[in-house]
Amino acid sequence: MPKMTFIKPGGEKLEVDAPLGMTILEIAQQNGLDLEGACEGSLACSTCHIIVDDDDFDRLPEASDDEEDMLDLAFGLTPTSRLGCQILMSEELDGLIVTLPSSFNNQMF
């Protein structure tokens, strides 16, 4: 099974199993990490904003225009920011490293 690493806001690293076909948001939540996903993956918020490691970013499929629009609302946006609900785990992403931002903007409430 593929693995991935989450880096928490304080710098602590957590390596987890990353089941194929699950989103990064689902994997984070399955492992008790604080990644909200207020819109449940419907591309209506930016609460599952993650920062992908520079070395891994090019392995991801390109973000859709809708994802890019939601990312504009994300707290702490970086050049390698993505929405965790839009990235499906695959064999090609084995070893992926993502950082969880220290905060998020919830436009849903």
The pLDDT, as a whole number, for residue 103 is 61
What is the number of H-type helices and E-type strands within the chain? 3, 5
pLDDT in tens, 7-62: 999 999 999 999 999 999 999 999 999 898 889 888 889 999 999 999 999 999 99
Q: Which residue from 28, 19, 38 is spatially nearest to 98, judged by alpha carbons?
A: 28
Per the confidence metrics, is the pTM higher than 0.85? yes
CA dihedral 67, 96, 88, 91 (to 10 degrees): 150
Confidence of residue 81 (pLDDT cuts 50, 70, 90): very high
